[in-house]
Amino acid sequence: MQKITLSVNGTPRAIEAEPDMPLLWALRDLMGLTGTKYGCGIASCGACTVHLDGTPVRSCSITVGLIKNSRITTIEGLSAKAGLAIQQAWIEKQVPQCGYCQSGQIMSATTLLANNANPTDADIDNAMSGNLCRCGTYPRIRAAIHLAAASLREHPTGKGAAETPAKTGSGR
């Protein structure tokens, strides 16, 4: 076991873990951040997507020993303008069915919008094809990304949908 400190959602988190433990299990089992999901363990489904210094990575396939000083953002810590606009659009379009994959979908979509203010369907398909949804919410994911992009373009300073934080329930 090693003492490892990770920067998660802006907070330093000290854990004791084997350095080969994937970030996914450190987040879920050691830090209680269960919004990041396990789906396959081989970077094939995208349910475990988090941001590492703003870039989406599959947390099942990156070990805690390699992360060093990189900033980790999980669904619980999503606060960037694009992220909030995405969450709001997801609610508006009623995207989730079971919702299990949606943390990963939202993390991928957030990066897409941060880099591309006006994505086409093809851009969306390209950016989102690493995230599986067994419920088949893909048509609504496309629609929600377009909606979030429009709202960000309309309110670039953070008004409108982008300004309204996603409503939080008390699921836990």
Partner 1 sequence: MSTIPRRDFMKLAGTLTLGFSLPGLAISRIANLSQLPLDQVGLSPYIQIAKDGIVTLICPRPDMGQGASQAMPMLIAEELEVRMEDIIVKFSDGQSQFGGQGAGGSSSVRSKYQSLRQVGATAREMLKQAAANKWNCAVADCKAENGKIINKTNDAILSYGALVDEAAKLTPPKDVKLKTPKEFKLIGKSLPRLDVPTRVNGSAVFGLDVQVPGMLYAVVQHSPMIHGKIKSIDDAAALAIPGVRKVVRTERLLPYKKLEAVAVIADNTWAAIQGRKALKVEWENGDNAKTSTTAYFQNLRELVKKDGFTMTDAKGDVESGLKTSVKTLEAVYETPFTAHAPLEPENSTAYVQGDKVEIWAPVQGPDNLISYVVQKYGYKKENVKVNTQLLGGSFGRKSYYDYALEAVDLSKQMNAPVKVTWTREDDLSQGPFRPGMLSAMRGGIDANGIVQAFEHKIVGAFLGWQIFKADPTKSTSWSEGINQEDSPYAIPNRAQKFVLAETEIPVLWWRSVYASTNLFGHECFIDELARAAKQDPMAFRLKMLAGEPRFAAVLQLLKEKSGYGQPLPAGHAMGIAMSRSFKSICAYAVTVSKRGKGVKIEKVVGVIDVGVAINPDNVKAQTEGNVVMGLSAALKNAITFEDGQSQQSNYHQFNIFRINETPKIAIHVMPSEADPGGAGEPGLPPVAPALCNAIFNLTGKRIRKLPFDLENVG
- Least distance in angstroms from the C-beta of 170 to partner 1: 4
Smallest Cα–Cα separation from 134: which of 52, 45, 3? 45
State yes or no: residue 32 binds partner 1 (CB under 8 A): yes
- Least distance in angstroms from the C-beta of 172 to partner 1: 5
Residues paired with 8 in a beta bridge = 11, 72
Overall size of the chain counted in residues: 172
State yes or no: residue 132 binds partner 1 (CB under 8 A): yes
Task: Using alpha carbons, list the distances in angstroms from residue 136 to 100, 132, 140, 141, 170.
Answer: 12, 8, 9, 10, 26
Whichever of 100 and 150 has its CB closer to partner 1, that residue is 100
Here's the x/- map for partner 1, 69-108, by CB under 8 A: it reads as -----xxx-x--------x--xx--xxxxxxxxxx--x--
Mark the segment that binds partner 1 (CB under 8 A) among 40-48, 51-59, 111-119, 155-163. 40-48
State yes or no: residue 129 binds partner 1 (CB under 8 A): yes
Task: Using alpha carbons, list the distances in angstroms from residue 62 to 57, 84, 86.
Answer: 8, 26, 25
Secondary structure (3-state) at 4: strand
Q: To 5 degrees, how large is the angle CA 157–CA 80–CA 5?
A: 150
| Residues found near partner 1 in the complex (CB under 8 A) | 1, 18, 21-22, 25, 28-30, 32-42, 44-45, 47, 74-76, 78, 87, 90-91, 94-103, 106, 124-126, 128-129, 131-142, 166-172
